[in-house]
Structure 1
Amino acid sequence: ELRWKACLRGCRPKNLKGLLLDEKFTAGFDALLDIPGVWDGMRLTTLQKMMAMGCRDECLNYLRHIKEVFTGLVGKDALGKIDTATVKALEGRAPGASTKDLAELRGGKIFSAFSDREREMIYERLQMIDGLVPSLFTFFRDIQYLKLCIDCLKRLVTVPKRESVCETLARTYSDKNQRKGHVKIQITEDSFVDQAGTPADCIDLGIRQLVALAMRYYPAMKADPVKENPVRMAPTKADPAVLRSLAELASRLGFDTPQIRELIRYPSLRTVRLDSSPSMPLHVTSGDGVAMDHRSGIPRTEAYEEDRVFLFVTQLHNEQQNWGEGITSFFVRKSVYLAFFGRPTST
């Protein structure tokens, strides 16, 4: 152990030390030691940024998701037989939705340590995967996107050290503006419905709805620039009307902080609102669909613009499953969201 640690260069030794001091993150990564093939995607250079994001629970959800997907394919006792080539072939694929992906996996040389009969059983299970196949490689790319969204929510609260943004938000829930026994669900920019739910559901689904708004508007809520002159306030790059929309939604969902009350005083511009769309997003398409190198990380501008009108929890939690030749960018966005946040326990 000491010999391979001595081989680390640059920021890697410091980042690894920081990881080992965090018991929860260490346990999350340790759980993947059973799968040797995923470790080619480990990025020690990114660990410090990951731990500073304030998204521990969401990151741990993603790491558990990796373990669950591969365990579902081969069983926990055979995880050690999954090699790097297999993981590289699987990561980012959607064999449960894309006929093209499934066909390419069948034609490849994967799961080489398994018998022909075992491989046939694995191919059957591949078709049951909901969303994209995750890996450590996709994880470290996708946290770049998660950071953009969570940074938006940081404008609503002051996050104590060692607490996540979502944990802090949960503590600010006040039951204000809420109907007892019900949860407000935003279905378009300007319309809501009530569904039965507990206070815990209000908190969970409320935070998810704030995340969804951040997914729709994060380019307009960029972090403020660093102040070069401590006396003079640096101008914000964020759109104040969008910040107000975020705060208004938080307040309407029952969250209350000084930051929320301050942002609600910002000017309101109707032009920032997205047009309501009665249509449903497509999950699959004819043709190749989204290219492999666009299935993780920050979405391309064209994909972002196409998908943002559908980024509400009613669509992100929709359990419909379709088969098609390729997958759409909305399928990718939904898969990444669910990898970090999972499905809600409430109906």
Structure 2
Amino acid sequence: MFSFQTNANRLASLTDDVIEEKNKKFSGIVKVSIEDLVFSPEFMPCDQNITAAKVSRLKRIFKTEGCNRREPSNFILGTISASLLSEALLLSKLTLDDLRGSEGSRMLYLPRFQYIKCANGRSRAAALLDTPHLGTWWTVELYLYQDLDPKAFDIITENYINEGAFSHGHICERIVYHRSHNLTEEKRWWARLTKSLGVILRSILKHPLIAPALLELIINIPGMREGFEIGTWHKIIGGKCDEEVVRYMEFTLESWVKLMGSKEALLNVDTEDVKEFQLRVPGVSQVDYRYLADLIEGGIAFKRLTNVEERSQILHRMKNINYLLPSIYTLQKDFKYLRLCTDTMKRLLHGKRKIPLTAQVLAYDAFSHKDPIGPNDVFFERLKSLYLYIMQDLVELTGEWPLLEDGEEPPEAPFRHPTNWHRLAQKARRLGFESDEIRRLAVTNPDEQVASKALQDARPTALYEYDESEVQDILSRIVHEFTRARARASTDIESTFTTIGAGEPITRRCGRQYSGAYMHDRWSFNLDEFSRRTRESRDITSLFVRKSVFHAFWRLDEDKDGDEAMPYPERLSPSSRGSQCHSPEGATSFEPREKLRKGNRNQRQDGRRRSSQPRDRVNRLVPNQEVIRKKSSRKKGARRRTEQRRRQNVIRHLISQESPPTQHLATQPATSPQISINQDNHPEPMQFDSEYGVSQYSRGSSLRLSDSALRLVRLVNKDEIKVFQWTVSGLKSRWITQSWPRESISLKISELGAQLGDLVFYLPEGRTISQHELDKHETICIAPHSITVPQSAFPAEEEL
């Protein structure tokens, strides 16, 4: 058996070789600021992965006995690249001879975002940071990174293992790495795990679906390794929800690649970066964006990324992160929620029987609308709808209460409500899922079960009996009385994905739901609503957290505009609508596609009809009570932007149609004023004037528009940006309003920059934006970089 004693003997036998290697590659002894040091194995700052008791003991020693940083045995071993050393020597006004002859009396300064990688000293550096009166520097024994043998560096690092334990993720990465290089080294890393953890890790590495996706994260993203906890994965593997877990891990990799710009750049992500960025959504939450932008601009985040331009690019890419950034750590937490859903699905399909198949495989087997041409689209759409229905009634279906809010009393023992299972089975059948268990649940009357139990509880069968001819009549009368219950109205407003107030705390953005969030959000779990893109706002709510978790496990087909498809204008004749679809060639390609989408489309239409009609909702936390959800009005600004997009779609569609003039004349009143737009085979650009909006053309076929349509054309054609410029005159400061042509925005910015110097760009609510985003907005604010604009001074949306 490969033990730690064997490892100690091995290190002792290699001591002479390591010492010889160190002497050859020695570069000098210098004093270095602790802020410029990162420590192995994951090269994080000294305040990460430490033993608190050891740091406290060192602090007491430093305060009572002092800190002897000139003792050679207390030196920290660090490595540095030759190019970085040259820059540091130039910055510090030193030479290499100064380093080798100073015996640690010279201070070496590093450029910003550059660090020395240290093999030891983490705890003593952390203790010194908490006693700043001693000076926050340490003596470093410096070696060139390219010259020092990596194997020797690893041995030195492992010899100082008491400085900080290796994470499970780091051990896993080392095992996988040495598996193809050195069997002895692999066994040495296996020896660091307990017997039970070793068994679990072996089962993970043998799993055909989970292992590849997990190793992609552990190997490519060093910062993910510390969050990996082997002990939780025996439940994940035993949960039989492999497809959902793999989708989550694939989405994790995709999200971090989108943030960093490439797969190669993921190596620059350390543990501290993952801890700060996970569970944040800078593309939607302004609070998250500002927080993360400060970390990047201040050099706190992505310390390994030394190129300033690449760091600035991350600020732009953060705007594309539209869901919570996941990680291995968040997966392990969110699995607790996933398992409640998948266990419910398996129980719905096959009852209490244990079947060694995943939830998705069982669901596909029960799906009755299979089509050999390609059933995946319809199946996944229906499967996602069924899971959302399960999420609505999760407490009543599982009998497990959500996490309690602060000060909330634990409820009475919850139980699985037969009524909710009956409704779930009916929903599953409507979506196309069939099994013996679904049919049993669907045909069983849960009210009769409750009535029968009430009769037995009131008069135990051991002492009483009913006339068999009267039992059914009694049950029917009791069930009839249940129908007398009236719907109880709810005063709760509709849940939203974002808020202009305080958002959902980071600590509540993964794992199981809290009871308050469950009660407030459950009726908003709708596939159509989830599939609409969430617009940027101040912060996110608990409903957005559910949407992100759902997307990570099952994926949403998001509508980028967030609007419904525009209908054809009523004035257009049917023959002008999609003529290609009615041609023989178009029909050939259209029919198979329509066959696949028919069920899916009908389901969405039914969902929209149901969501547009007022109806009672059952509050299934309280049996036999219903909740009527009240619709809240949309924000004024959001409604205005949506209507403008719809008007633009109408105009584009009107202009793109080619129909004989006689058709339009037949459908429009002859007395209405008409203006034509040239639409022949070689269209000329439309000309706009201030009075009518569109000049008249006489040649070629034309599309005749009414006055209302022309007003829409003039609205769309107005391509200017409203600009607020902040000016200061004496003690007074104010906004100067002007309009700039959109096509000359860059020229205007250059001219203004030549007058005022560096500029800062804002949206009317005060959020900063970059220059390349200016042409995407209707209104912008500009101020000199040297002047701070008070938040209260920014123009309100109602003033625009």
Query: Is 1:16 paired with 2:201?
Result: yes
Partners of 1:255 and 1:321 in 2: CA distance: 31
Confirm or deny that 1:335 pairs with 2:548. yes
Matched-pair contact (CA < 8 Å) for 1:98–1:324: yes
Q: Which residue does 2:747 correspond to in 1?
A: none
**1:204 and 2:380 matched:** yes
Q: Which residue of 1 aligns with 2:436?
A: 258
SS of the counterpart of 1:127?
A: helix
Deviations 1:192-243 (A, max 9, x none): xxxxx9743332111111110111111111269xxxxxxxxxxx93100000
Amino acid at match of 1:246: L
1:168, distance to aligned residue in structure 2 (A): 1.1
Structure 1 residues 49 and 249, CA gap change in structure 2 (3 angstroms): same
How far did 1:266 drift?
3.1
8 Å contact kept, 2:495–2:520: no
Between the aligned partners of 1:343 and 1:276, the Cα distance in structure 2 is 30
Distance verdict in 2 for CA 1:22–1:43, change over 3 Å: same
Task: After superposition, give the CA deviation of every residue in 1:248-298 in whole Å (9 maximum; x if it has no partner).
Answer: 011111111000011113335688x99899x86422112330001000000
CA contact (8 A) 2:346 2:362 kept: no
Instruction: Tell me what 2:314 maps to.
Output: 122
* 1:205 partner amino acid: E
SS at match of 1:11: helix
Measure, in 2, the Cα distance between the counterparts of 1:165 and 1:29.
20
CA positional deviation for 1:11: 3.1
The TM-score, its normalising length taken from structure 2, stands at 0.37
CA–CA separation in structure 1 for the residues paired with 2:356 and 2:488: 35
Does the 8 Å CA contact 1:15/1:47 hold for their aligned counterparts?
yes
The TM-score, its normalising length taken from structure 1, stands at 0.84
The Cα offsets for residues 149-183 of structure 1, whole Å up to 9 and x where unpaired, read as: 1111112223875521121111111239xxx9xxx
C-alpha distance 43-336 of structure 1, shift in aligned 2 (>3 A): same
2:364 matched to 1:170? yes
User: Partner of 2:331: helix, strand, or coil?
Assistant: helix
Give 2:259's aligned residue.
73
**Is 2:323 the partner of 1:131?**
yes
- Classify 1:336/1:96 alpha carbon distance in 2 versus 1 (closer, same or farther; 3 Å): same
Maintained 8 Å contact 1:151/1:223: no
Whether the 8 Å CA contact 1:97–1:321 is kept in 2: the answer is yes
1:331 deviates by 0.6
For residue 134 of structure 1, give the secondary structure of its aligned residue in structure 2.
coil
Candidates 314, 332, 341, aligned match of 1:149: 341
Would the aligned equivalents of 1:172 and 1:256 in 2 still touch at CA under 8 Å? Answer: yes
- For residue 312 of structure 1, the aligned residue among 526, 536, 554 is 526
> Could you report, residue by residue, the CA deviation over 1:79-129 in whole angstroms, capped at 9, with x for unpaired residues?
111111111110001111111111111112111222221111011101110
Q: In the TM superposition, what is the alpha-carbon distance from 1:344 to its structure 2 partner? A: 4.3
Alpha-carbon distance between aligned partners in 2 of 1:64 and 1:302, rounded to the nearest angstrom: 31
Q: Percent identity?
A: 28
Q: Distance in 1 between matches of 2:348 and 2:252?
A: 31
Match of 1:187 in 2: none
4+ residue stretches of structure 1 with deviation over 6 A?
273-277
Residues 27-176 of structure 1 correspond to what in structure 2 (within 5 A)? 27-32=212-217, 33-74=219-260, 75-108=262-295, 109-114=300-305, 115-158=307-350, 162-175=356-369
Q: 1:101 and 1:311, CA in 2 relative to 1: closer, same or farther beyond 3 A?
A: same
2:264 aligned partner, one-letter code: D
Shift of 1:316: 2.0
Aligned position for 1:186: none
- 1:10 CA displacement: 6.1
- Alignment CA distance shift 1:12-1:275 (3 Å): farther
Between Structure 1 and Structure 2, whose CA radius of gyration is higher? 2
Change (3 A) 1:223 1:290: closer
Q: Does 1:220 align with 2:396?
A: yes
Distance 2:240 2:500 in 1: 39
One-letter amino acid of the structure 1 residue matched with residue 198 of structure 2: P
CA contact (8 A) 1:288 1:326 kept: yes
Q: CA 1:28–1:300 in structure 2 vs 1: closer, same or farther (change >3 Å)?
A: same
1:274/1:309 contact within 8 Å kept: no
- The answer to whether residue 498 in structure 2 is matched with residue 284 in structure 1 is yes
| 1:57 to 1:303, Cα distance in 2 relative to 1, 3 A | same
| CA contact 1:93–1:101 (8 Å) conserved in 2 | yes
1:26 partnered with 2:211:
yes
Equivalent residue number for residue 229 of structure 1: none
Q: Which residue is equivalent to 2:676?
A: none
Please give the alpha-carbon distance, in whole angstroms, between the structure 1 residues aligned to 2:377 and 2:344.
22
Q: Distance in 2 between matches of 1:97 and 1:173?
A: 36
Query: In structure 2, what is the Cα distance between the partners aligned to 1:338 and 1:96?
Result: 16
Q: SS of the counterpart of 1:166?
A: helix
**Inter-partner Cα distance in structure 2 for 1:69 and 1:162:** 32
Q: Distance in 2 between matches of 1:127 and 1:215?
A: 29
**Residues in 2 aligned to 1:296 and 1:263: alpha-carbon distance in whole angstroms:** 32
Contact persistence 2:248–2:552 (CA under 8 A): yes
For residue 306 of structure 1, give the secondary structure of its aligned residue in structure 2: helix
Q: How many Å separate the matches in 2 of 1:133 and 1:44?
A: 21
Question: 5+ unaligned residues in a row in structure 2: which ranges?
Answer: 1-185, 401-413, 448-482, 559-596, 602-800
2:425 is equivalent to residue 239 of structure 1: no
C-alpha separation in 2, matches of 1:343 and 1:210:
14
Greater RCO, CA 8 A, separation 6+: 1
Aligned-partner Cα distance in 1 for 2:195–2:233: 13
Separation of aligned partners in 1, 2:238 and 2:445: 32
Aligned amino acid, residue 436 of structure 2: P
Q: 1:323 aligns to what SS in structure 2?
A: coil
In structure 1, what is the Cα distance between the partners aligned to 2:526 and 2:237?
Answer: 27
CA pair 211-325 structure 1, distance change in 2 beyond 3 A? same
**Structure 1 88/274 Cα, relative in aligned 2: closer, same or farther at 3 Å?**
farther
